[in-house]
Chains A and B, each alone.
Chain A
Amino acid sequence: MTIELAKTPLDAWHRANGGKMVPFAGYEMPVQYESIVSEHQACRRAAALFDVSHMGRLRFDGDGSDQFLDHVLTRKVADLPVGGVRYGLICNEGGGILDDVLVSHVETPSQRRFHLMVVNASNREKILRWLTPILDDFPTVTMSDRTQLTAMIAVQGPAAMEACKRLFSFDPTRLKYYRAVITDQFAKPVIVSRTGYTGEDGLELIVRAEEANRIWENLLLAGRNDGFIAAGLGARDTLRLEAGMPLYGHELSESIDPLSAGLGFACTLEDRSFLGSEALRKIADSGPSTVRVGLRPEGKRPAREGCPVLDREGQKIGEVTSGGPSPTLGYPIAMAYVDRANADDSEFKIDIRGKLVDAKSAKLPFYKRPKS
């Protein structure tokens, strides 16, 4: 049986420009164009454009949207002001992570307010199935899946904001980090947020599907002299790993809770109740069983997902969840879960396909952009 893969509105552009297409979360996505390393470096030095249209975009309209979201998210969003963006998690009753999401509260030019939730591509259908029955208790709230009708473009890197400023009819540098706004660009509404998944400054744009190619090409053109290039999912992964950001399916899953994943900042446990809050309070009281740590294996050989992590005595105490070379740092890096007892160890060993390699603990994030 072959499963029909979805295409993003930028599919033809990717193919015409050397994109190496791979199946990912039900979509055909470019993993790279020329090279993961050069795309990674372009993002760190200038800016890179990412087609992230595969990410799910769910819109919530109606009175009580804020209460509904507050009920399903680990993070308080009832007080999210218009123009605000918040990172949070959707957990099951046991505190297991169903997805990590961004919620924006925005207002249309006609003063209609709504919430928008961006979910992981691989979890979109699961989250739709999870939220639908809960919506029965919130009859005034409607959920609409905007994924197919829109495209999403991330423009990330030190040169991103200035180029967008030249291109846009408003000044995006006035938008603060984790703020979002709906603005008319090229006579069409675009949701612009100062967010990203690379560790760089930049924007994420949600545009109408039929506008995607025009805006994409205009962004590339606006940054042509600055060295903007298109980057694929490969670079997106190495960039987020350097930035110490968890990725669903690797660091996050239903068998891990947000506190063990080091995402306590995204859980508002005081004075509120939400799906999973009881379980999370118990975990908070007893302390999480594992911690997410950064590791730097010695030598050049990257430790990959699934490699066992051992303490200095050779006892297995954890596992690598993401690992690879760091193009910026020039050595391999990895994220891993280790037992809480070993959280402060400075030396570990990693079993890389049968060979024990010494590894040192490394502070997350591995890479922090220089302050501008």
Chain B
Amino acid sequence: MSRDESKLLYAESHEWVDLAEEDGKAVGTIGLSGFALEQLNDLVYMELPELGRELTAGEEFGEVESVKAVSPLYSPVSGKVVAVHEDLPESLEKLNDDPYEFGWIVKVEISGENSVESLLDHAAYQKQCAEAG
């Protein structure tokens, strides 16, 4: 089963989030968009957060590094990190091919009030990418 990128929400900073219910809890699975990965190219390193870390929407939770540059990863939602894709930093070459399924980075159990209104739907995100060229 592959995640349908058109059903995801996106941050302006290029993270995607898949909001779903897991065991009665609201969980957001977070990754980096295919567009962003294509721009970054030649990834060499990824820094992941600790399990259990509390994140606020917009907070930096890790970083992804290409040959040329370091890019921070920002959480699109607030909540507690309940899963971390530990295999990902060792398999960065696979990330570009499968950003929405294999490429999940963390899962966040969404806490309390969470505004997703500032996030973009797929159409709005695509528009942003098109404008960025």
Point out residues on A near B: beta carbons under 8 Å. 31-32, 35-37, 234, 237-238, 300-302, 304, 324-325, 327, 332, 353
Contacts and interface: CB of A to CB of B under 8 A. Distances in A.
B41 A304 contact: no
Nearest to A325: B44
B70 A325 contact: no
B65 interface: yes
Nearest to A38: B42
B38 to A, nearest CB: 11
B90 to A, nearest CB: 9
A325 B47 contact: no
Interface of B: 41-42, 44-45, 47, 65-68, 70, 89
Nearest to A22: B68
20 contacts: A31-B68, A32-B41, A32-B68, A35-B42, A36-B42, A36-B66, A36-B67, A37-B42, A237-B68, A238-B67, A300-B89, A301-B45, A301-B65, A304-B70, A324-B67, A325-B45, A325-B67, A327-B67, A332-B44, A353-B70
A325 B66 CA distance: 9
B41 A35 contact: yes
B46 to A, nearest CB: 9
A237 B67 CA distance: 10
B41 A36 contact: yes
Contacts of A327: 67
Contact of B47 (A31, A32, A301): A301
A234 B89 contact: no
A67 B10 CA distance: 64
Nearest to B41: A35
A295 B1 CA distance: 45
Given A36-B68, A302-B44, 8 more contacts: A32-B41, A32-B68, A234-B68, A237-B68, A301-B47, A302-B45, A304-B70, A325-B67
A302 B43 CA distance: 11
A13 B48 CA distance: 40
Contacts of B67: 36-37, 234, 238, 324-325, 327
A304 B89 CA distance: 19
A353 B42 CA distance: 21
Contacts of A301: 45, 47, 65
A300 B45 contact: yes
